Amino acid sequence: MMYGVSQFGYLVASALFIFALHWMNAPTTARKGVYAGGWGTAIAILVTWAEPSVIHHLWIILPIVAGFVVGVPLSRVPLTAVPQRTALSHAFGGAAAGLVGTAEYYLRLSEGVEFLTPFRMVALIAEIILGYLTLTGSLMAAGKLQEIKWVPQRPVTYPGQNVINLLLALTAIVLAGAVAMNPAAPWAPAAFAVIIALALLFGVLLIIPIGGADMPTVIAILNSYAGLSAVAMGFVLDNKLLITAGALDGSSGLILAIIMCKAMNRSFTNVLFGAFGQVQQAKAGAEERVYKSETPEGAAQALEQASSVVIIPGYGMAVAQAQHKVRELYDQLKKRGITVKFAIHPVAGRMPGHMNVLLAEADIPYTDLVEMDEINPDMPQVDVALVVGANDVVNPAARTDKSSPIYGMPIIDADKARSVFAIKRSKNPGFAGIDNELYFSDRTWMLFGDAKNVIGELVKQFAGPGMH
């Protein structure tokens, strides 16, 4: 009887999860998706809690209360910190899977070794490897994104890096095979612990060679791993809800990672093992070239005379928290009857969709946020392209320069606009460390400074008495 009730509950929860994701296909229905997901989770928790085997209720209430105490503030972080929060939550998800897997193994070892069939052991070891790897990998990613001091920002590479990683992975796989076949052997618990240590280490090693520009892909991959570790847990516990929910999460991470890779014209293996940031030295030593600088006054005049303006935001906008100032500029331009659109590159920012959320926060209607492929055909008719803290995603070298590390990456064709104003924090190259051809074009004028200050200056020009 109880079995039927809980299975029915799980089935309903699975259906709700699928609806939740389905409703994410449009901003108008998306919030319904959150409620569907919330109800699904609540039902699953209640029917599980009602299982007769669950008897220590305080052991459930206290962690749940603690989860609320930490979870509520974590949901109120500023939106610029959303990439870090996301990485952190992948770490939590990985930790949960790893810990449950560890508990299951040592529990069954002492009471009920017959539970540990080879299939369950393979799933269990997959669960802990993915779980612990996601834990440390995501913590590293979160540390990089938060720019914590002792976490290296630049990619860390050393000779033989991939060989060492490969050897570690092989060791883990061999140990895993041995433990899966002999889960109750006297040496097995120790080997199991070694696998855990290797997975924790592997997570760190996998992330240190990865640069900031690759973070969107890496976060998506970690998302996928966290989902797959839940699937593995579902195999161990023979729980189809866990398998379904984990598979949904896993495929979501996979699709996002594929989109990110396509948007950078790179492969998974290249992101994970390529250490992008290291390629930059290729063009050092080229002759010094000069930028044309422009004052906010001049830029404001050009903007006022334009009839269509495209704003191209990048990570620099997020760093400077400039989205609200951008909104003020947007209002000023709209007020003068100028068409304003935002061109969003899939990998702009540090996670998929990062720019959209920041601009939505600043109350910019999402109907004015246009995808790269949609806006590019219109770029030659655009009077002013305003680049706000974006760099590689507008670098024309991606189209023309075969020696460039970003060659082949689809870009927003800012250089085709009639004029370009680029706001940039400093004269240094961007995160990927590549010189940007766009800045030297004769149609481009640079506005050096913090994005928030520069846009603020522009807005002042419009709001001031001088211009009407």
Site map (CB under 8 A) of another protein, residues 432-461, x = contact:
------------------------------
CA–CA gap between residue 96 and residue 233 (Å, rounded): 10
CA–CA gap between residue 292 and residue 281 (Å, rounded): 25
- For the segment 96-125, give every residue that binds another protein (CB under 8 A): 96-97, 99-100, 102-104, 106-107, 110, 117, 119-120
Contact (CB, 8 A) for 85 and 77: yes
Q: Tell me whether residue 290 is exposed, middle or buried, using C-beta atoms within 10 angstroms of its C-beta: 0 to 12, 13 to 18, 19 or more.
A: exposed
Contact (CB, 8 A) for 144 and 200: no
- Backbone torsions φ then ψ of 331, nearest 5 degrees: -60, -45
Q: Of 204, 194, 137, give the one whose Cα is nearest residue 171.
A: 194
Asked whether the CA dihedral 107, 112, 115, 121 is positive or negative, the reply is positive
Complex with another protein: residue 263 or 447, whichever CB lies closer: 263
Taking the complex as a whole, how short is the minimal distance between the CB of residue 315 and another protein, in angstroms? 14
The three-class DSSP label of residue 16 is helix
Taking the complex as a whole, how short is the minimal distance between the CB of residue 285 and another protein, in angstroms? 39
Radius of gyration of the chain (CA): 25
CA–CA gap between residue 333 and residue 340 (Å, rounded): 7
Please report whether residue 8 would count as binding another protein according to CB under 8 A.
no
CA–CA gap between residue 112 and residue 169 (Å, rounded): 30
| Contact range with another protein by CB under 8 A, out of 153-161, 190-198, 358-366, 433-441 | 358-366
Complex with another protein: residue 345 or 424, whichever CB lies closer: 345
- For the segment 220-259, give every residue that binds another protein (CB under 8 A): 220, 223, 226-227, 229-231, 233-256, 259
CA–CA gap between residue 468 and residue 465 (Å, rounded): 8
- For the segment 66-85, give every residue that binds another protein (CB under 8 A): 66-68, 70-72, 74-77, 79, 82, 85
Q: Of 197, 207, 105, give the one whose Cα is nearest residue 155.
A: 207
Complex with another protein: residue 356 or 404, whichever CB lies closer: 356
**What strand order describes the sheet that includes 308-313?**
369-371, 339-344, 308-313, 384-388, 419-424, 444-448
Taking the complex as a whole, how short is the minimal distance between the CB of residue 28 and another protein, in angstroms? 8
Complex with another protein: residue 19 or 202, whichever CB lies closer: 19
Taking the complex as a whole, how short is the minimal distance between the CB of residue 123 and another protein, in angstroms? 8
- For the segment 337-356, give every residue that binds another protein (CB under 8 A): 344, 346, 351-354, 356
Would you call 378 a catalytic residue per the annotation?
A: no
- For the segment 18-47, give every residue that binds another protein (CB under 8 A): 18, 20-22, 24-27, 30-31, 33-34, 37-38, 40-41, 44-45
Taking the complex as a whole, how short is the minimal distance between the CB of residue 20 and another protein, in angstroms? 7
Residue 78 neighbours by CB distance under 10 Å? 11
- For the segment 180-219, give every residue that binds another protein (CB under 8 A): 219
- For the segment 273-332, give every residue that binds another protein (CB under 8 A): 331
Complex with another protein: residue 53 or 281, whichever CB lies closer: 53
- CA atoms within 13 A of residue 125's CA, in its CB half-sphere: 27
Q: Which residues pair with 421 in a beta bridge?
A: 386, 445
Complex with another protein: residue 292 or 334, whichever CB lies closer: 334
Q: Which is catalytic among the residues 214, 392, 413, 450?
A: 392
Taking the complex as a whole, how short is the minimal distance between the CB of residue 316 and another protein, in angstroms? 18
Number of residues located near another protein, criterion CB under 8 A: 119
Q: Tell me whether residue 217 is exposed, middle or buried, using C-beta atoms within 10 angstroms of its C-beta: 0 to 12, 13 to 18, 19 or more.
A: buried
DSSP string, 176-188: HHHHHH-TTSTTH
Complex with another protein: residue 309 or 447, whichever CB lies closer: 309
Encoded amino acid at 33, one letter? G
Pick from 178, 201, 319, 360 the residue near another protein by CB under 8 A. Answer: 360
Complex with another protein: residue 77 or 164, whichever CB lies closer: 77
CA–CA gap between residue 277 and residue 429 (Å, rounded): 12
The three-class DSSP label of residue 424 is strand
Please report whether residue 51 would count as binding another protein according to CB under 8 A.
yes
Please report whether residue 468 would count as binding another protein according to CB under 8 A.
no
Complex with another protein: residue 8 or 106, whichever CB lies closer: 106
Please report whether residue 5 would count as binding another protein according to CB under 8 A.
no
Please report whether residue 53 would count as binding another protein according to CB under 8 A.
yes
DSSP string, 265-296: T--HHHHHHS-GGGGGGGGTTPPP--PPB--H
- Report the catalytic residues: 392
